[in-house]
Amino acid sequence: MASVLIFFSFYLMLFSTSFTTINGVFSDQSPMEISIKRMEKLTHLHFYFHDILDGTNPSAIRIVGPPKKSVSGFGSTFMIDDPLTEGPEASSKLVGRAQGMYALASQHDLGLLMVINYAFLEGMYNGSALSILGRNPALDTVREMPIVGGSGVFRYARGYALAKTVWFSPKSGNAVVEYNVSVLHF
């Protein structure tokens, strides 16, 4: 009886730690659920986004324009590599870059689709990034956009960014936007 119990225990241990292949070699899945408990951190970030469309060194360029009959600019798409700074002045300390694109995605108001990575260059966040994917109702005083992921110290990040326009030039389209970001990450 003891030998049957030992054999059964060995059999159970051997097959409970093996991996099952699903869909060929594309993915492996363990039949055991492994739970790693880590403490999530809540990080608050505060920085300024400088969107410069004019001059000799613009940080945002239009890559797609609207149809000629469009009055609203609907469909205009911009690729950006905007500086993120500690303060609202362009000369303020550079803490990162906003890299990605935004597009005028609404026919009825100034609703932007934001697809942007905030790549940080300073301090403990150097080399890390946060990803935003969401709607930016640009004429609202304060806009909330979702943080949908990240890399580096922000791996598995989720949270939100609050944006508030500090300065805007209707003639050039240049803007400075204050960001307050709250993000949960490991």
Domain ranges of the chain: 40-185
Q: What is the pLDDT of residue 21?
A: 47
Q: How far apart are CA 25 and CA 2, in angstroms?
A: 39
| pLDDT tens for each residue of the chain, 186 residues long | 555 555 555 555 544 444 454 555 666 555 655 556 678 999 999 999 999 999 999 999 999 998 777 778 899 999 999 999 999 999 999 999 999 999 999 999 999 999 999 999 999 999 999 999 999 999 999 999 999 999 999 999 999 999 999 999 999 999 999 999 999 998
- Bridge partners of 181, per DSSP, are 45, 161
Correct CATH for 40-185 of 2.30.40.10, 2.40.30.10, 1.20.960.40, 2.40.480.10: 2.40.480.10
Taking a C-beta distance cutoff of 8 angstroms, is the pair 66, 76 a contact?
A: yes
Say whether pTM exceeds 0.85. Answer: no
Q: Hey, is 100 helix, strand or coil?
A: strand
